[in-house]
Amino acid sequence: MVICNRSLSLNRNSPCGRSISFNKRVLNIGSPRVISTRFSSVSRFFRLLVVIGSLISFLVAFFCGYLYVLPSLSQAFHVHGIANSTFNDSISSCNVLDGSWVLDNSYPLYNATECPFAERGFDCLGNGRRDTGYLKWRWKPKNCNMPAFDAQGVLEGLRGKRVVFVGDSMSRTQWESLICLLMSGVQDKKSVYEVNGNQITKQIRYLGVRFASFNFTIEFFRSVFLVQQGLVPRHSPKRVKSMLNLDKLDDISKEWIDSDVLIFNTGQWWVPGKLFSTGCYFQIGNSLKLGMSIPTAFRTALDTWASWAEENIDTNRTRVFFRTFEPSHWSNLTRRVCNVTQQPTFETKGREYSVFSDAVFEVAKNMTIPVTVLHITSMSAFRSDAHVGRWSDNPSIPDCSHWCLPGVPDVWNEILLSFLFAGDELHIQ
């Protein structure tokens, strides 16, 4: 025997459903008052369901809108980076490389148009970019707070020092960024000058800016591969136009040694378009390595760099850093389509990983001298909004590799300075 609650059973295929349907047909013949009462009960039940459903739908919609709108209202739109440990660093209680991007209206920290050492090609606002949201993002470590940038304090901390950047145009951008950051704390702007009177260009292999009032220099050496580019050996195939000597460091490496802070970077030129397509191949000793892959060659070059650093760098004086690969945000592999967004992206599409960055970590952890790896790959992977795009000195050529100034390279420098000066002053939450 099935006992049915006629006011709740709505399934016509159930015994209760069939019973209700049968009783309705019977009552329809001889009992109109009962029909009205029971239909009224069912109607009220359906209205109750509609009200409850509407309320639930409203709450879901409100909650989704809350999640979407709140970040803009609170200016705390978080984009999380991926942490990697550093080696032999002085900040044991906080990994400043593990964090997120947060909006901060105190940014940017300088005006590139007013900084004579920022290349015109990187001054996106000066070149016509109208949206300014990309300038407002600050890096926030997960478990601590980096001190606010203090130009005067850093200027004093670098007094009498020599800071050297070595690498490609990305290193030059970071070099320019650091100079512009520090210029904001200098009273006499004319006391800051390029030592040879050179304009900032892509071709010059050496650029040095002196802060005369504080007796220090910040220098840049252009060495896109770190290793030597050599002549083609005799009897080489016709396709070979130049060689990379993977077992020999750049012939200007002797100029890097006498420094207090030494920051290396390479990676952007280790691509087929810059190597094989131009006829550039690899060599070790007198042996051509025409079949060697680029990742293998990169790792071999890093081993050469590591051996040089271990033999030549006096770590009692010199603090050595190696900044990892900086991701680009081209829309396709042709590097011709560049869609710069107005906000950081949620989807990194694998850009947070790089075989070049992995190689840097592997080499650094096996070195006999302390090297701090500035792992900026993952944090920069989210910043599709911060590239030069068409706001360069040559807008006909899009650029989703280089970065606007001010912008992401400033954050790299803030992290660099946190390793140099913050130490125990980092506030742990």
Q: Is 402 a catalytic residue?
A: yes
Structure tokens at 218: 């910040």
Q: pLDDT category, 45, cuts 50, 70, 90?
A: low
Higher pLDDT, 421 or 67: 421
Query: Residue 147: its pLDDT value, please?
Result: 83
Closest CA to 414 of 54, 99, 26: 99
**394 CB neighbour count, 10 Å cutoff:** 12
Q: What is the dihedral of CA 222, 227, 229, 230, to 10 degrees?
A: 150
Q: pLDDT category, 335, cuts 50, 70, 90?
A: confident
C-beta contacts of 247-254 below 8 A and 24+ residues apart: 247/284, 247/285, 247/300, 247/304, 248/304, 249/304, 249/305, 249/308, 250/223, 250/225, 250/226, 252/205, 252/206, 252/221, 252/223, 253/223, 253/308, 253/312
Query: Residue 387: its pLDDT value, please?
Result: 97
Looking at residues 246-254, what average pLDDT do you find?
Answer: 97
- Please tell me whether residue 426 adopts helix, strand or coil conformation: coil
- Write down the catalytic residue from 387, 402, 410, 418: 402
What count of residues does the chain have?
A: 429
Query: Residue 79: its pLDDT value, please?
Result: 40
Residues 148, 104 contacting (CB under 8 angstroms) = no
- Write down the catalytic residue from 89, 123, 168, 399: 399
Angstrom distances, CA of residue 381 to CA of 50, 82, 269, 349: 46, 10, 18, 9
- Write down the catalytic residue from 169, 253, 259, 328: 169
Residues 416, 321 contacting (CB under 8 angstroms) = yes
Q: Considering the chain, what is the average pLDDT of its residues?
A: 83
Query: Residue 48: its pLDDT value, please?
Result: 61
Angstrom distances, CA of residue 296 to CA of 52, 236, 309, 355: 63, 21, 20, 10
SS (H, E, C) 98-152: CEEEEECCCCCCCCHHHCCCCCHHHCCCCCCCCCCHHHHEEEEECCEECCCCCHH
Q: Is 89 a catalytic residue?
A: no
Query: Residue 32: its pLDDT value, please?
Result: 37
Residue 59, pLDDT > 70, answer no
Burial-class residue 50 by CB neighbours within 10 Å (0-12, 13-18, 19+): exposed
Query: Residue 146: its pLDDT value, please?
Result: 83
The per-residue pLDDT for range 135-169, each reduced to its tens digit, is 999 999 998 888 889 999 999 999 999 999 999 99
Beta bridge partners of residue 217, listed in sequence order: 162, 210
Query: Residue 144: its pLDDT value, please?
Result: 86
Residue 308, pLDDT > 60, answer yes
**410 CB neighbour count, 10 Å cutoff:** 24
Residue 73, pLDDT > 70, answer no
Q: pLDDT category, 39, cuts 50, 70, 90?
A: very low
**Whole-prediction pTM value?**
0.79
Query: Residue 60: its pLDDT value, please?
Result: 53
Structure tokens at 241: 């136009």
Residue 268, pLDDT > 70, answer yes
Closest CA to 139 of 424, 410, 420, 426: 410
Closest CA to 398 of 327, 328, 326: 328
